[in-house]
Chains A and B, each alone.
Chain A
Amino acid sequence: MFIQDTTPDTSAYMVAGYAIFFVLLILYLISFLIRTRNLNRDLTTLENMKVQSQVATGDSSEFKPAGNTRHAVKRKAARPKGNKSNQVKKKVIKKK
């Protein structure tokens, strides 16, 4: 009575196991991609804000955005107006 003579059919559990494994793995990868996308968006927004605040305050220290991101603002925009004239003045002083 207690001796098992046939292999039980447990294939449904096996299918469920592998299905759940792939679902969990894909969910994690999707969350990973969404978080990365959101962070890239945050980075772009924050760098724009930083550049705008520097332009508004006339801060001459150049802001360097991170390497390979899709930034809407170019570095040139970060430079305050009148930079060139300041450089010319310095050269004139040196010559004197």
Chain B
Amino acid sequence: MQAKSKTLKILDIVSVLLLAVAVYLALVYAPEELQMGQVQRVFYFHVATAWTALLGFVAAGATGIIYLVSKDSKWDIIEVSAVEISLVFFFITIVLGSIWARPIWNTWWTWDPRLTTAAVTELIYVAYFMLRQGIEDPDRRARFGAVYTIVGSISAPITFFAIRLFRTIHPVVIGNSDPGSLGAFDMTSKMLVAFMFALFTFSVIFVDLFWNRIRMGKLASRVEQLKLSNMQ
């Protein structure tokens, strides 16, 4: 594996520092929400991880298209990297959402349109890795993976717009919530700062992890090539 570039090393450090500042802003700087109490602070990371994860799923779909057009294996590596990190981020989103829902909705989980579409999206991308594990031929695996991510990426905008299209109890942060939603609140300027900073931080962390994961993907590709050539 080639040594890390200086830019990537700097990005690693910047990501850690930004995360520390984002935690400070979310836990200390932003004021307590009066109706929900301290648990509302989970919202900053919940939305930020969801946003980056959904963008990552859409990006994976786009790289799937590019792979099918170019047949260049580097796009397959990029696609897998985007899906893997998005999957982790989206899992964090669901877990944080569930923790927030317990005191606010009085339940860990409910089959609300937003929660259901989120769970379906997560499962679609878990199945993506199961599909890839089942195919040995690298070209075939990449082709199937590309088609799968293109189809799967449709679930990301559906999840995003679910709270705007369907009747739901999930609050809408930016825009008007459904009258039946529980846990909606108006952000103060300090809350908005913490929220925007969390969005920025997780975008940077995503780029950092993405870059590192692509490097690992290239290494895995090299190992696979050697395995195949040794078998011949």
Contacts and interface: CB of A to CB of B under 8 A. Distances in A.
Prevailing SS type, chain B contact patch: helix
B212 interface: yes
Interface residues of A, number: 32
Contact of A25 (B1, B92, B220): B92
Interface in A19-71: 20-21, 24-25, 28, 32, 35-36, 39-40, 42-43, 46-47, 49-50, 53, 66-69
Contacts, number: 99
Contacts of A10: 36-40, 103
A22 B45 CA distance: 11
B41 A39 contact: no
B23 A32 contact: no
Given A20-B99, A50-B226, A50-B230, 8 more contacts: A14-B38, A14-B41, A17-B99, A21-B45, A25-B92, A36-B1, A43-B222, A68-B2
26 contacts: A7-B32, A9-B38, A10-B36, A10-B39, A17-B41, A17-B45, A17-B100, A20-B92, A20-B95, A20-B99, A21-B45, A21-B92, A21-B95, A24-B88, A24-B95, A32-B213, A39-B219, A42-B223, A42-B227, A43-B222, A43-B223, A46-B223, A47-B226, A50-B226, A67-B2, A69-B1
